[in-house]
Chains A and B, each alone.
Chain A
């Protein structure tokens, strides 16, 4: 049976993980390579590096970080943040990542999705969508697409954009609820289900995880194929293994033991 996935996201800046680390027994708890490996051993199904670097110099360090991480990581690795061109994508693939996640650049130039899909395959092209509920629905749509790390609203509505991303070759949608992100009050199941029903590609839910029940809700009501969490050890549980066992006990198929 195809399992639902638990994806660990690490915010990386200049070769360092900048938040959400509670591993013990690591030589360097801020080292992305070491943390990625620790998450994999603990049972994460995939790893995402979100590059939050603001400088060009830090970007170069990211490539080296990906290379070093990929050498000993044998589960899928995605890199997102700051990928604006096919060349940017090519550089992180060359360093050993398996998928890229593109957000603002895809909104600015949707052909980038197709370029990446044609060159590296749809399975390697994730379109990330930052969604925020609108005060009034527009043509049946309730959520607006934001870019630039959620700072800038666009003219696009979420369901239409998700469908367009699929049509242009995206292999997965990484959907972040800006309304829930950082709140710990649960994933936005209504948003996630709406997108999951609008497209036939997998949807990764992000934003709002606080408890095991939140994961169960987003898999059951939200129809998410995967759930992503940045600080996966802040749920009052000890490790990903325990999280997965409790989700599985709730009737959602998980890869466990790994």
Chain B
């Protein structure tokens, strides 16, 4: 069972229906206990980084940290990826989980923001999550802040410079784009996540 963490911020429906379509068993939950014992944890996110702060006081942050620590595969999408970095300029008072170093920053002034649309992936390192995804493949983005490129970045995308499009280390995965909105290639990525051993 994949726990889709509901922190009352984002549209969770599209991720859930993509998993349903793929036949992957998933539940949307706000219950820290359910997250703690989940086989896999998925943290979606569209919206403001500050909303992740709600997870601090509801026990969800601790539950996710525990699930990750015991090795449960974790996938963060969009703000869910940004949250596993140290912090974001969007809400400096709200700490990220800090599994990857660096601060998410807004695209520079003068750029069209949000970065909306289909942009290509440059593969930086072998990845289980991106298995079968070729360099240059287009995926759908919509965001105003971006995570820096780090040692565990497995794919980058160029928009006013390179940023982390996908990050991966052991059981922790994050994507800045929306696999649930990226057509067939997005479904491939979610299928890969579903196929990871628990």
Give the B-binding residues of A (Cβ under 8 A).
1-5, 40, 45, 70-72, 74-76, 93-94, 96, 98, 120-124, 171-172, 200-202, 225-226, 255, 258
Contact B112–A201 (Cβ < 8 Å)? yes
A125 to chain B, nearest CB (A): 11
A120: contacting residue among B11, B114, B187, CB under 8 A:
B11
- Of A74, A93, A122, the most chain B CB neighbours within 10 A belong to A74
- In Å, the complex CA distance between A4 and B138 comes to 12
Which chain B positions have C-beta within 8 A of A71?
A: 17, 20-21
A240 to chain B, nearest CB (A): 13
| Nearest B residue to A121, CB-CB | B47
**Per-position 1/0 for B138-150, Cβ under 8 A of A:** 1010111000000
| Nearest A residue to B47, CB-CB | A121
**Per-position 1/0 for B164-192, Cβ under 8 A of A:** 00000000000000001111101100000
| Contact A123:B111 (CB < 8 A) given known A71-B21, A75-B181, A258-B183 | no
- In Å, the complex CA distance between A123 and B17 comes to 20
Q: B18 in the interface, Cβ–Cβ < 8 Å?
A: yes
Give the A-binding residues of B (Cβ under 8 A).
10-11, 13-14, 17-18, 20-21, 46-48, 110-120, 138, 140, 142-144, 158-159, 180-184, 186-187
Contact A200–B112 (Cβ < 8 Å)? yes
B195 to chain A, nearest CB (A): 18
Contact B13–A96 (Cβ < 8 Å)? yes
Contact B112–A123 (Cβ < 8 Å)? no
- In Å, the complex CA distance between A75 and B142 comes to 12
Contact A93–B138 (Cβ < 8 Å)? no
Contact B18–A74 (Cβ < 8 Å)? yes
B136 to chain A, nearest CB (A): 10
Which chain B positions have C-beta within 8 A of A96?
A: 13-14, 17
Contact A3–B138 (Cβ < 8 Å)? yes
Contact A45–B17 (Cβ < 8 Å)? no
Contact A202–B17 (Cβ < 8 Å)? no
Which chain A positions have C-beta within 8 A of B46?
A: 120-121, 123-124
Contact B181–A2 (Cβ < 8 Å)? no
Contact A40–B113 (Cβ < 8 Å)? no
Q: 14 A–B contact pairs at CB < 8 A?
A: A1-B119, A1-B158, A2-B118, A3-B119, A3-B120, A70-B17, A71-B21, A120-B11, A121-B46, A121-B48, A172-B116, A201-B112, A201-B114, A225-B117
B130 to chain A, nearest CB (A): 17
| Nearest A residue to B115, CB-CB | A2
| Contact A1:B181 (CB < 8 A) given known A121-B48, A225-B112 | no
- In Å, the complex CA distance between A202 and B144 comes to 12
- In Å, the complex CA distance between A71 and B143 comes to 24
Which chain B positions have C-beta within 8 A of A72?
A: 21
Which chain A positions have C-beta within 8 A of B47?
A: 120-121
Which chain B positions have C-beta within 8 A of A3?
A: 117-120, 138
Which chain A positions have C-beta within 8 A of B187?
A: 74
B117: contacting residue among A2, A201, A258, CB under 8 A:
A2
- In Å, the complex CA distance between A49 and B27 comes to 29
B89 to chain A, nearest CB (A): 16
- In Å, the complex CA distance between A94 and B28 comes to 14
Which chain B positions have C-beta within 8 A of A70?
A: 13-14, 17
| Nearest A residue to B190, CB-CB | A74
| Contact A76:B48 (CB < 8 A) given known A2-B119, A5-B118, A98-B11 | no
Which chain A positions have C-beta within 8 A of B116?
A: 123, 171-172, 202, 225
Which chain B positions have C-beta within 8 A of A40?
A: 183
Contact A75–B11 (Cβ < 8 Å)? no
- In Å, the complex CA distance between A45 and B140 comes to 9
Contact A98–B181 (Cβ < 8 Å)? yes
| Contact A1:B120 (CB < 8 A) given known A71-B17, A121-B46 | yes
Which chain A positions have C-beta within 8 A of B138?
A: 3, 255, 258
- In Å, the complex CA distance between A5 and B119 comes to 10
